[in-house]
Amino acid sequence: MKVEADLDLCQGHAMCELEAPEVFTVPKHGKVEIVDTAPPETLRASVESAVRFCPTQALRIVEDNETSEGES
């Protein structure tokens, strides 16, 4: 599992940081920073919650067998 953020969509609400602080951080008046782009499976539920509750839908999970945007 990999985590990606669309910084054009992120507005810095920090819901992701509340759900998965081991994976996301949001500086005051900033946009999301992913501190662990490939979190362990033990954090999957937290990461999925962060993606689900992002008010701007700026986050996504890319499974290991998928390619991320821009890759072929």
Segment (H or E) for 59: strand 59-62
Q: How many CB atoms neighbour CB 31 within 10 A?
A: 17
pLDDT digits (tens, 9 = 90+) for 10-49: 999 999 999 999 999 999 999 999 999 999 999 999 999 9
Q: What is the pLDDT of residue 64?
A: 85
In the chain, what are the domains?
2-62 (3.30.70.20)
pLDDT digits (tens, 9 = 90+) for 49-60: 999 999 999 999
Q: What is the pLDDT of residue 67?
A: 64
Give one word for 5, left, alpha or beta, with left for phi > 0 and alpha for psi -120 to 50.
beta
Token pair recorded at residue 47: 């990461």
Q: What is the DSSP letter of 38?
A: S
Report the DSSP pairing between strands 2-5 and 24-25. Answer: unpaired
